[in-house]
Amino acid sequence: MKNVKNKRLFIALNLPAEMKQSVKIFLDGIKESIPGVVWAHPLTLHITLHFLGDTGPEQAEKIKMEMQNLSGKYHPMEFALSGRLNAFPAMNNPKILYLELKQSNGNSALSLQKILGKNLSQWIKIDKRPWHPHITIGRIKEPSVFRLPVTVPLMRSGGFAVESFDLMESRLYLAGARYTVVEKFKLSL
């Protein structure tokens, strides 16, 4: 009998290729001026709705069923970048750098995030902190050398739309995490 391993899963809104390219250009312009950061690879950029962590095959099937139940009940979601760089937990004690986002066609992303959280919390521990859409662009790995320049340029870019919410797998490697789509679920039919 084959031993089936658990997977590190999360639910995300994946960015379109054009937006990933825009963020790459922005990161290429600021990387050298901000030391102590491990920068996200542009192909991995996404908006996390829920990090689910180490998940067994039975839980993964339940997650897929919940996601399928919500598929087709939303419109495509449109986002705009505020252009600002920010950090979790705070700019004066950063662990994660991110770009701020705002949904430009309502707040269905927040609604989807809350409904998924409520439904999944029956069998998975869900983060209860307030959620807001953002794109993680880097992790502070050397706090002693991390410094933001006096002025950080704003990222200038148009908006973008996403048409699916995806169950993703995260695999950790020395060079960083790699993400693969386990299954896509359409926001609208």
Please give the Cα distance from 8 to 55 (Å, whole number).
Answer: 6
Please give the Cα distance from 144 to 35 (Å, whole number).
Answer: 10
Please give the Cα distance from 149 to 39 (Å, whole number).
Answer: 16
Decide: 42 and 17 in contact? Cβ < 8 Å. Answer: no
| Terminal C-alpha separation, the chain | 39
Please give the Cα distance from 124 to 126 (Å, whole number).
Answer: 6
Q: Which of 41, 46, 75, 132 is catalytic?
A: 46
Decide: 186 and 29 in contact? Cβ < 8 Å. Answer: no
Task: Give catalytic status of residue 46 as yes or no.
Answer: yes
Backbone angles phi, psi at 81, to 5 degrees: -80, 140
Task: Give catalytic status of residue 50 as yes or no.
Answer: no
- Alpha-helical runs (H) found in 3-148: 17-30, 57-70, 108-120
User: Looking at the annotation, which residues are catalytic?
Assistant: 46, 134
